[in-house]
Amino acid sequence: MDKKYPTIKERILLVAKNQGLSYESFLAKVDLKYANFKGKQKLGGINSK
């Protein structure tokens, strides 16, 4: 039985959606760029400073 678990980045986007915020504004508040949450980059980890 294969279950597809969302990536950490997909879960972060779900938090923004559940709070009724745009992805861009939510990610700006946590000092991340939306460009890192699209395409192939969505599969990578979160870069921290």
Identify the pLDDT of residue 19: 95
| Beta strands, E only, 1-49 | none
Whole-structure pTM value: 0.78
Which residues in the chain show pLDDT less than 70?
1-2, 48-49
What's the full length of the chain, in residues?
49
Question: CA–CA separation, 23 vs 12, rounded Å?
Answer: 9
Backbone angles phi, psi at 26, to 5 degrees: -65, -45
Identify the pLDDT of residue 1: 56
Identify the pLDDT of residue 49: 55
**Token pair for 38:** 């699209």
